[in-house]
Chains A and B, each alone.
Chain A
Amino acid sequence: MAIWVDNDTRLVVQGITGKEGEFHALSCREYGTQVVAGVTPGKGGQEVDGIPVYDSVAEARAETGCNASMVFVPPPFAADAVMEAAAAGVELIVAITEGIPVNDMLRAKAFLRDHPARVIGPNCPGIISPGQAKIGIMPGHIHQQGRVGVISRSGTLTYEAVWQLTNLHLGQSTCVGIGGDPINGTNFIDVLEAFAGDDQTEAVVLIGEIGGSAEEDAAAWIQQNFDRPVIGFIAGRTAPPGRRMGHAGAIVSGGKGTAKEKMEALAAAGISVAESPAEIGAKVAEALG
């Protein structure tokens, strides 16, 4: 069954006429996603490899019935693009853009209170339901339709875990990259709630990293509400305090948000924690018997 993205997803790509936007719009289509429209203000009426381009998301939605968006708009304008999609009634908005100012994301989140939509990201690889559709920049072919849900704050580290699951023939139900920024649209618990209602998901891999307390919150929630096996990994045990490790949100500040604290919180909630990133797949196999 998978979550949020499937064969019925009708995708609009905001920023489709840019180099990255075009490349990934076409690779999503190649994977099987219905890419029905693109939006670039001022470029309405053009086509990108047969995909019609509109000036606004509202027009794209009226003409094509798109229900999901992938945002490739440059950072200064990306939060505006997210709000535009929400205002047009798009239900799922996947923001790939890295480097959106924190204050812009806070504004977008305030706007979303009156215009409900699920935002995934920003600064994320996107979401994929293997065998059905993907919205994002992840390489589709390393995935395999299967039993494990994956949630992660990272990109290539997720691919690493996915590849292990594929090679062990466990496969994935849906993989959601929630992004590496301090303020994001969807958190671990939102995804876990959706997995709880998905029969295809028999176990979950949760990949966290230093900074914030989203992993601790997820651990507490899992202990109360989630009875399928969860395998956790936290990146950044060797990260020095006070330094931002690539992702805007990956920082230990004031002694808070360390990998150690997070691993302890996961373990205390009964979650199996992988010490090494190389053993994530094996731990899942063990849990699923």
Chain B
Amino acid sequence: MKIHEYQAKEILRRFGVPTPRGEVTADAAEAARICEELGGRCVVKAQIHAGGRGKGGGVKLAGSPEEASEVAGQILGMQLVTPQTGEEGQLVRKVLIEEALEIASELYLGITLDRELGKPVVMASASGGMAIEEVAAENPDAIVRQPYDPHLGIQGFEARSVARRLGLTGRTARQAARFVSLLVKAHQHTDATLSEINPLLVTGDGDVLALDAKMNFDSSALFRHSDIVEMRDLDEEEPLEVEASRHGLNYIKLDGTIGCMVNGAGLAMATMDIIKLYGGEPANFLDVGGSASQEAVQSAFRILVSDPSVDAVLINIFGGIARTDRIAAGVVAALEDLGGVSIPVVVRLEGTNVERGREILQEAAHDFSVATTMAEAAEKVVAASGGAD
């Protein structure tokens, strides 16, 4: 789960992680008041989940409260386009007004899971502001990596080693080591999967602060973090994905034209891949769950066909414990309940009781195109969608 920068900073402050002073608002006039309180100079930052906000004009410096209000007015309500939003951009509903600090240098600091090591790892680099992926590609030796034991936390010498390897000395090194320890504490206590401070600011006095902050959380651990669940901002999520999650479905919207409904995540990915292999473009990832119940199929269908770019649908179900004749009956009932659909539907069933399952589809009022193998299904749905591009 993702949250906004201002929310991440709120969490970090609870753990004593130094952050600039600031306040969030949805009101341009308020921005002037906040800027005044911060001493008359401030930074106005668009609050959307996507990164790269500065590149799209979503982060601006204001030299006076009046200017803060003016800049906030420009940013609030804009469709902010960044390298991560796609062409249409994301509507800005809130801005964070923060004190403008003097910058001596900018560093990168992040914590993520090293899957192969089975441990969290602190990653740091002296190239603040640059994406860590870019640093990794251009100069992998410039990245400092420090794994730590998740149950014991990071040890003092490990945190000091990060600071030392970044080339920091004196007071700045001590402040940075303390920052690393506190960030690890916040990361561990919140079941975060990513805590990224980019840039980490070093001031002329040697103070170290989180100039930006990004935190993602383990969705499986949210049951023990009701405060974080409350930070979820549905405005930042794709409406169809929100709707799908309400029905317990795993749905991800993509750019293609062929809607697909599959039971199981691996098979769902493989189905998208085979559509592409036959020259089509999948419109989504959708896992209706291993058992593909009638209710799940029905909600899934409604979501699929409400995407206007979908011009054909492929249903690919491998019936194991859930028998395919029952699944077929569920698909037919779901479509009848929706009053039919106007676009071609290709169904591929395989597994237990498949003969009976296919009969049920063929006898149904809706004109399904029935396929036996995945390859045949992909070929048929690509043809129905207007052929390979």
A228 → chain B closest CB, angstroms: 24
B51 → chain A closest CB, angstroms: 10
Given A27-B321, A103-B191, are A235 and B287 also a contact pair (CB < 8 Å)? no
Q: How distant is the Cα of A276 from the Cα of B267 in the complex, in angstroms?
A: 12
Q: How distant is the Cα of A245 from the Cα of B264 in the complex, in angstroms?
A: 10
Given A137-B321, A246-B250, are A159 and B265 also a contact pair (CB < 8 Å)? no
A159 touching B320, Cβ below 8 Å? yes
- The residue that B113 contacts in the complex, of A110, A182, A207, with Cβ under 8 A, is A182
Q: How distant is the Cα of A109 from the Cα of B223 in the complex, in angstroms?
A: 21
A49 → chain B closest CB, angstroms: 17
B221 at the binding interface (Cβ < 8 Å): yes
Question: Among residues 57 to 116 in chain A, which have CB atoms less than 8 Å away from a CB atom of chain B?
Answer: 75-76, 99-104, 106-107, 109-110
- The residue that A137 contacts in the complex, of B218, B268, B276, B290, with Cβ under 8 A, is B290
B118 touching A141, Cβ below 8 Å? no
B351 touching A101, Cβ below 8 Å? no
Closest residue of B by beta carbon distance from A24: B321
A213 → chain B closest CB, angstroms: 6
Question: Among residues 17 to 73 in chain B, which have CB atoms less than 8 Å away from a CB atom of chain A?
Answer: none
B265 touching A103, Cβ below 8 Å? no
Chain A residues closer than 8 Å to B132, beta-carbon distance: 254
A44 at the binding interface (Cβ < 8 Å): no
Given A110-B151, A139-B351, are A239 and B277 also a contact pair (CB < 8 Å)? no
A121 at the binding interface (Cβ < 8 Å): no
A237 touching B273, Cβ below 8 Å? yes
Chain B residues closer than 8 Å to A240, beta-carbon distance: 252, 254
Size of the chain A interface, CB-CB below 8 angstroms? 62
B266 touching A156, Cβ below 8 Å? yes
Given A183-B115, A238-B272, are A207 and B266 also a contact pair (CB < 8 Å)? yes
A4 at the binding interface (Cβ < 8 Å): no
Chain B residues closer than 8 Å to A155, beta-carbon distance: 264-267, 290
B265 touching A180, Cβ below 8 Å? yes
Q: How distant is the Cα of A180 from the Cα of B268 in the complex, in angstroms?
A: 13
B85 → chain A closest CB, angstroms: 12
Chain A residues closer than 8 Å to B374, beta-carbon distance: 160, 276-278
B136 at the binding interface (Cβ < 8 Å): yes
- The residue that A138 contacts in the complex, of B133, B282, B320, B375, with Cβ under 8 A, is B320
Size of the chain B interface, CB-CB below 8 angstroms? 54
A261 at the binding interface (Cβ < 8 Å): no
Q: How distant is the Cα of A103 from the Cα of B220 in the complex, in angstroms?
A: 10
Flag A36-64 by CB within 8 Å of B: 1 or 0 each. Answer: 00000000000000000000000000000
- The residue that A246 contacts in the complex, of B112, B191, B285, with Cβ under 8 A, is B285
B320 touching A238, Cβ below 8 Å? no
A156 touching B115, Cβ below 8 Å? no
Closest residue of A by beta carbon distance from B268: A246
Chain A residues closer than 8 Å to B151, beta-carbon distance: 106-107, 110
B384 at the binding interface (Cβ < 8 Å): no
A270 at the binding interface (Cβ < 8 Å): no
B311 at the binding interface (Cβ < 8 Å): no
A99 touching B285, Cβ below 8 Å? no
Closest residue of A by beta carbon distance from B321: A139
A144 → chain B closest CB, angstroms: 14
Chain A residues closer than 8 Å to B113, beta-carbon distance: 102, 182-183
B267 → chain A closest CB, angstroms: 4
Question: Among residues 199 to 258 in chain A, which have CB atoms less than 8 Å away from a CB atom of chain B?
Answer: 207, 209-214, 217, 233, 235-240, 243, 245-250, 253-255
B221 touching A102, Cβ below 8 Å? yes
Chain B residues closer than 8 Å to A183, beta-carbon distance: 113, 115, 118
Q: How distant is the Cα of A64 from the Cα of B250 in the complex, in angstroms?
A: 40
Q: How distant is the Cα of A203 from the Cα of B133 in the complex, in angstroms?
A: 38
Closest residue of B by beta carbon distance from A233: B270
A142 touching B351, Cβ below 8 Å? yes
Closest residue of B by beta carbon distance from A139: B320
Q: How distant is the Cα of A138 from the Cα of B318 in the complex, in angstroms?
A: 11
B191 touching A276, Cβ below 8 Å? no
B188 touching A212, Cβ below 8 Å? no
Residue of B132, B224, B274 ringed by the most chain A CB atoms within 10 A: B274
B175 at the binding interface (Cβ < 8 Å): no
A277 touching B274, Cβ below 8 Å? yes
Closest residue of A by beta carbon distance from B254: A240
Chain A residues closer than 8 Å to B262, beta-carbon distance: 156
Flag B207-231 by CB within 8 Å of A: 1 or 0 each. Answer: 0000000000011110110000000
B115 → chain A closest CB, angstroms: 4
B259 → chain A closest CB, angstroms: 14
Closest residue of B by beta carbon distance from A181: B220
A101 touching B191, Cβ below 8 Å? yes
Closest residue of B by beta carbon distance from A27: B321
Q: How distant is the Cα of A103 from the Cα of B290 in the complex, in angstroms?
A: 26
Chain A residues closer than 8 Å to B285, beta-carbon distance: 239, 243, 245-246
B273 touching A277, Cβ below 8 Å? yes
Flag B275-309 by CB within 8 Å of A: 1 or 0 each. Answer: 11100001001010010000000000000000000
A278 touching B282, Cβ below 8 Å? no
B318 touching A156, Cβ below 8 Å? yes
B263 at the binding interface (Cβ < 8 Å): yes
B265 touching A154, Cβ below 8 Å? yes
B133 → chain A closest CB, angstroms: 4
B350 touching A76, Cβ below 8 Å? no
Q: How distant is the Cα of A139 from the Cα of B324 in the complex, in angstroms?
A: 12
The 4 closest A-B pairs by CB, nearest first: A154-B266, A246-B265, A156-B264, A139-B320
A-B residue pairs in contact (CB < 8 Å), sample of 28 = A99-B220, A100-B220, A102-B221, A103-B191, A106-B118, A106-B150, A107-B150, A107-B151, A110-B151, A139-B321, A142-B351, A155-B264, A156-B267, A182-B115, A207-B266, A212-B116, A213-B115, A214-B116, A233-B270, A235-B273, A237-B276, A239-B285, A240-B252, A245-B265, A253-B112, A277-B273, A277-B374, A278-B374
